[in-house]
Every structure is written in structure tokens, then in C-alpha cells.
């Protein structure tokens, strides 16, 4: 059994790996883990190598699904399950989360805490997670009567990219709330706010997404949308085992886990309206 992720250093993917590894061991499989650094050519290489049947099945994450990757996954040599957002034309099993609804909840939470000048530090433009999170951010603003959303796309889903993007945002806008597309971006944003002399949450409230372990080691602790990566890892692994062991041979399945906003110090301003 194989797990292929965009970035093995992302704590969210580590949660997936731990959950999937436990399930694999329970059923007598070994888990091979590989990181593609978000490169489509590497993802295609992995899918094409499945023809050699060096693994019994594959769980993968991908933030982009260009037509050539969708086509390569149309009839893979071994079962494949995708964790994350997939395009409508994707014809395989997948396990997603309600990122649109979750991003809307996160945005409305900041507004309820008294924020009026919000921005989003989003992931790379053109990725499926960035698209869904931006949609939720816009919906949250619209639901509370705010418009003209400020959205900036970071080069990567990393702390460094979050820091650099937030530095530019703070130079351009007078903000009191920032929604970040994942926790790594949010931690980078937190450092940028501190460096600029902006107190969190008093001057700027922050929300991340993933609810990774890093949320509780920064100060203040980070409010984050729990996207249930461990649960998705277990669910994807079970779906894969069903295919490998022949318990399910039917049409592609789309599973979705619920999300929950975990409120911590980075957004708790005590000014709910």
C-alpha cells in the first residue's frame, strides 16, 4: 500500500500517514510513503508506475488535477483513493471535507468577534483547495453584509509563504482579521503580525485551517478549522482495502467528513455581536 502526498513536512499529512499506517498494519500491509512536492510530473510518474504493480493500492493527495492526471487515473492498474477536493470529471474514489462551509464558518466567526476589515491568505492560485476556501470566505462575508473581499494567493502552503504574503497584505491594507487557508500559512501570518507590531488577537484576529498539532505550540494558540485529516486517512484506507480485497467493486464513491471550528486564543476577542 502506498501514500503519496504533496509535502511530507505538512503536519496535516503526517496525521493521514499515521492513521493509514495503523490501518495497513492491522490488515497485514506495509505502507510506502512518497512526497511529490506538489509537482504534477511526479504525480503522473507515480500513477504510471502503478502498472508495475509494486503496490496493491494507492492513497494520494493532490491540490491540482489537470486533464492529463485525471485521464491517468481513469483506469489505474491498482485501486486508488484520493484525499481532498477532486474535479467533477474525476472517476475514482475520494474522501473530502466541506472546506467551503468550513471557510464560511471561520469567516463568520471573525465577524462575530468584531472584525470588519478582513482578508484571506490563500493557497496557490489554481489549486482546488484555494478555490474552495476562497468560495467559503466570500460566502461568509456576503452572509454578514460585507463585500469587496481581499484575497492574496501565497506561492505555497507553507509558513514562509504565509509570512511573505501577510507582510505585503499589512503594507497594503488596515486589517483586523485574517482567514488563512491552512495552519502553516496562519503561523507565518502570525509571525508577520508580531514583526509589524500588531497584536494577535487584539489588533488582528487569525484563523487557520487543518487543526494540526502546530496550532497548540504557537502563542497565542491558533484557532483552526478541523478538516479531520486523521479521519480521512482511516476512511480512505478502508475504502482502498475494500477495493483491494474485493469487498466493493461498484461505482466511484465520494465520501465527505464534517468540519468543526476549534476556537483558541488567536481569534478570541470577546466582542461577539
**Could you give phi then psi for residue 28, rounded to 5 degrees?**
80, 20
pLDDT digits (tens, 9 = 90+) for 150-168: 999 999 999 999 999 999 9
**Stretch 2-20: mean pLDDT:** 92
Q: How far apart are CA 47 and CA 60, in angstroms?
A: 10
pLDDT digits (tens, 9 = 90+) for 215-268: 999 999 999 999 999 999 999 999 999 999 999 999 999 999 999 999 999 999
**209: closest CA among 265, 269, 140, 157?**
157
Q: In this structure, are strands 177-180 and 150-153 parallel, antiparallel, or unpaired?
A: unpaired
Task: Report d(CA 106, CA 98) in Å as an integer.
Answer: 12
Phi–psi pair at 130, nearest 5 degrees: -65, -40
| Residue 222: DSSP 8-state | P
Residue 160, C-beta contacts closer than 8 angstroms, at least 6 positions apart: 188
- Whole-number Å distance between alpha carbons of 151 and 68: 29
Query: Which pLDDT band holds residue 37 (cuts at 50, 70, 90)?
Result: confident
**H/E stretch holding 171:** helix 159-172
Do the Cβ atoms of 61 and 12 come closer than 8 Å? Answer: no
Report how far apart the first and last C-alpha atoms of the chain are (Å, whole number): 50
Give the span between the Cα atoms of 81 and 20, in whole angstroms. 12
Range with the lowest mean pLDDT among 40-54, 103-117, 196-210, 239-253? 40-54
Is the distance from CB of 103 to CB of 225 less than 8 angstroms? yes
DSSP state of 10: -
Report angle CA 10, 257, 77 to the nearest 5 degrees.
70
Q: Contact at 8 Å (CB) between 142 and 173? A: no
Q: pLDDT tens digit string along 76-101?
A: 999 999 999 898 889 899 999 999 99
All domains of the chain, ordered by start, with CATH?
A: 2-96+227-257 (3.40.50.2300), 99-226 (3.40.50.2300)
Closest CA to 177 of 270, 273, 267, 272: 267
* Residue linked to cell 497565542: 220
In tens, the pLDDT along 51-85 reads 888 899 999 998 888 899 999 998 899 999 999 98
Confidence check: pLDDT of 270 > 80: no
Q: Mean pLDDT, to the nearest integer, of 6-33?
A: 93
Query: Which three cell numbers mark 60?
Result: 494520494
Tens of pLDDT, residues 215-224: 999 999 999 9
Banded model confidence at residue 271, pLDDT cuts 50, 70, 90: low
DSSP code of 117? S
Amino acid at each position: 500500500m502506498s501514500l503519496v502526498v504533496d509535502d511530507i513536512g505538512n503536519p496535516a499529512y503526517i496525521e493521514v500517514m499515521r492513521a493509514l499506517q495503523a490501518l495497513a498494519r492491522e490488515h497485514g500491509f506495509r505502507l510506502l510513503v512518497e512526497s511529490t512536492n506538489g509537482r504534477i510530473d511526479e504525480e503522473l510518474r507515480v500513477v504510471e508506475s502503478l502498472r508495475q504493480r509494486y503496490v496493491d493500492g494507492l492513497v494520494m493527495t493532490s491540490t491540482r488535477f489537470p486533464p492529463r492526471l485525471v485521464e491517468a487515473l481513469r483506469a489505474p492498474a491498482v485501486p486508488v483513493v484520493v484525499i481532498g477536493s477532486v474535479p467533477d470529471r474525476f472517476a475514482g474514489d475520494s474522501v473530502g471535507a466541506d472546506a467551503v462551509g468550513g471557510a464560511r464558518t471561520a469567516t463568520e466567526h471573525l465577524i462575530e468577534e468584531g472584525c470588519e476589515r478582513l482578508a484571506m491568505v490563500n493557497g496557490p492560485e489554481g489549486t482546488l483547495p484555494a478555490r474552495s476556501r476562497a468560495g467559503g470566505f466570500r460566502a461568509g462575508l456576503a452572509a454578514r453584509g460585507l463585500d469587496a473581499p481581499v484575497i492574496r494567493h501565497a506561492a505555497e502552503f507553507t509558513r514562509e509563504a504565509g509570512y511573505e504574503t501577510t507582510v505585503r497584505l499589512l503594507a497594503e491594507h488596515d486589517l483586523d482579521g485574517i482567514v488563512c487557508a491552512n495552519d502553516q500559512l496562519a503561523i507565518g501570518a502570525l509571525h508577520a503580525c508580531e514583526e509589524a507590531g500588531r497584536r494577535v488577537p487584539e489588533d488582528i484576529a487569525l484563523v487557520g485551517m487543518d487543526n494540526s498539532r502546530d496550532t497548540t505550540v504557537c502563542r497565542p494558540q491558533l484557532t483552526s478549522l478541523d478538516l479531520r485529516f486523521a479521519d480521512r486517512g482511516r476512511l480512505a484506507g478502508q475504502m482502498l482495502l475494500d477495493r483491494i480485497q474485493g469487498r466493493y467493486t461498484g461505482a466511484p464513491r465520494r465520501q465527505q467528513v464534517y468540519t468543526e471550528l476549534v476556537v483558541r486564543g488567536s481569534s478570541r476577542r470577546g466582542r461577539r455581536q
